């Protein structure tokens, strides 16, 4: 996939074909890998809850199980929309209205990168604001 990214940046007039090809490959990879991750996470969660009592969980197990449970709860509306015929057309509307409702294992890498950049930008802006206020006070 990295070689395809390089071709997109190097190509001149054929970029729309390469972008479409890249998008389709990334979509296929995301769906397949997301499904595998969902299955493995579900198996891990069931195994952990069978093995241990809740008060003996480690911090890692608690945080990972919370993330998995949230992802499973986020997946429920998508599974319902896929089961109902022609309801798949409502998925873009659902994503537009609730952008954080997409399970983490079905996010594109580029979408995750954009989200992280946006959070870093907000953090930087708040940092600058606090520094300016501190300077004003002194």
Q: Return the domain boundaries, the chain.
A: 2-107, 108-138
Mean pLDDT of the region 36-41: 87
**Residues 111-138: what's their mean pLDDT?**
85
Kindly tell me if the per-residue pLDDT of 1 is higher than 60: no
pLDDT tier at 37 (50, 70, 90 boundaries)? confident
Instruction: Report which of residues 131 and 1 the model is more confident about.
Output: 131
Tell me what pLDDT residue 84 has.
84
**CA-to-CA separations, 47 to 52, 65, 76, 115, in angstroms, rounded:** 9, 11, 21, 31
Most confident of 86-95, 108-117, 126-135: 126-135
H helices present in the chain, as ranges: 2-10, 15-51, 59-83, 91-97, 109-137
d(CA 104, CA 86): 24
* Confidence check: pLDDT of 108 > 70: no
Residue 58, pLDDT score: 85
Q: What are the tokens at 125?
A: 């802006």
How confident is the model at residue 71, as a pLDDT?
85
Over residues 86-91, the mean pLDDT reads: 79
């Amino acid at each position: 996939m990295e070689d395809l990214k390089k071709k997109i940046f190097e190509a001149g007039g054929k970029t729309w074909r390469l972008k479409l090809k890249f998008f389709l490959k990334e979509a296929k990879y995301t769906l397949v890998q997301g499904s595998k991750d969902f299955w493995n996470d579900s198996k891990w969660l069931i195994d952990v809850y069978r093995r241990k009592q809740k008060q003996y969980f480690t911090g890692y197990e608690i945080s990972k199980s919370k993330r998995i449970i949230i992802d499973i709860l986020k997946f429920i509306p998508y599974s319902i929309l896929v089961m109902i015929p022609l309801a798949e057309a409502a998925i873009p509307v659902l994503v537009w209205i609730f952008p954080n409702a997409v399970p983490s294992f079905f996010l594109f890498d580029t979408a995750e990168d954009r989200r992280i950049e946006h959070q870093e930008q907000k953090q930087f802006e708040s940092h600058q604001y606090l520094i300016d206020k501190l300077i004003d006070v002194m």
